Amino acid sequence: MASVTRAVFGDLPSGAGTVEKFQLQSDLLKVDIISWGCTITALEVKDRQGKASDVVLGFAELEGYLQKQPYFGAVVGRVANRIAKGTFTLDGKEYKLAINNGPNSLHGGVRGFDKVLWTPRMLSNGVQFSRVSPDGEEGYPGELKVWVTYTLDGGELMINYRAQASRTTPVNLTNHSYFNLAGQGSPNIYDHEVTIEADAFLPVDETLIPTGEVAPVQGTAFDLRKPVELGKHLQDFHINGFDHNFCLKGSKEKHFCARVCHAGSGRLLEVYTTQPGVQFYTGNFLDGALKGKGGAVYPKHSGFCLETQNWPDAVNQPHFPPVLLRPGDEYDHTTWFKFSVA
């Protein structure tokens, strides 16, 4: 069983509200989640010696999350990932979004779901956050009711995302946690062994928008179907890191997505999801400028993300899995992060 406690995390400037922290604890995991952006701020996992370390990058205080920072631990939306040129057409009408990542719109815009206060509700084994995204928020059509539920069961953290729309709108929700299984603050993730259950990936242009091709991983740096040690793999293939969507099984059922093992500590993370894709990101844009928990700095490649989601720019690429949510339908996806010791 898991226990859940609630505390104040901090106050938003100019009386904009109080951010609360919810701590979910089982015999194997301890997870802190705040109501600002449904953000995971800490996740403690034991190693094979039984010593617990926090394995997610982030900040000890609210101020850290209010500064410009790369979505540490947050839920991103209304549409996660990039939309080419910040524009799409729906039922003959063109919608223009904020351009906040080169020439594109990223993670819902200037004030996406990561930069708002959600309404929490405590559960016996977790916490549910909800909010209403108003019609026209960040340029998106229709009002969107959203529920994000975190529940803990032993070593497994489950995140369920639900949404209902008043008008047809693209929806794509994910969690943007950065992990380092050696413990946050460890200098890099090169000694992590990564497996991703994908036969295909999406090549991208120079602005990181998918070209439209669905390319086989066979014989490329993107073939992670068998475990690879990350540092050696990046060297062998002369690549700067990953920031790519891997195409998973098309089933809406729970399916295996990825496994990451850290031999030094024995910590093992397995990811399962109902989503058709996962963005594997190796923290290529981290630069050591931000001061994290316990005085940690986060240089390039000091954390990795496994953002389970629909494929990037799906709203502009008709052969990608459908991303539109229509009135009367419900968006409902779940991802499971399962921690153990190898």
Strands (E), 166-320: 169-170, 174-175, 192-196, 200-201, 215-216, 228-229, 243-247, 255-262, 267-273, 277-281, 305-309
Task: List the beta strands (DSSP E) in 231-304.
Answer: 243-247, 255-262, 267-273, 277-281
DSSP 73: T
Separation between Cα atoms, residue 327 and residue 341, nearest integer Å: 44
Catalytic residue among 44, 107, 138, 176: 176
DSSP string covering 8-70: EEEE-GGG--EEEEEEEE-SSEEEEEETBTTEEEEEEEE-TTS-EEE-B---SSHHHHHSS--
- Least Cα distance to 123 among 88, 79, 158 occurs for 158
Residue 333 annotated as catalytic: no
Task: Decide: 259 and 269 in contact? Cβ < 8 Å.
Answer: yes
The binding site consists of 81-82, 176-178, 243
- Burial (0-12, 13-18, 19+ Cβ within 10 Å), 197: middle
* Conformational region of residue 286, where left means phi above 0, alpha means psi within -120 to 50, and beta covers everything else: beta
Q: What is the DSSP letter of 322?
A: P
Provide the annotated binding site for beta-D-galactose. 81-82, 176-178, 243
* Catalytic-residue membership of 193: no
Catalytic option among 44, 138, 270, 307: 307
Residues with active-site annotation: 176, 307
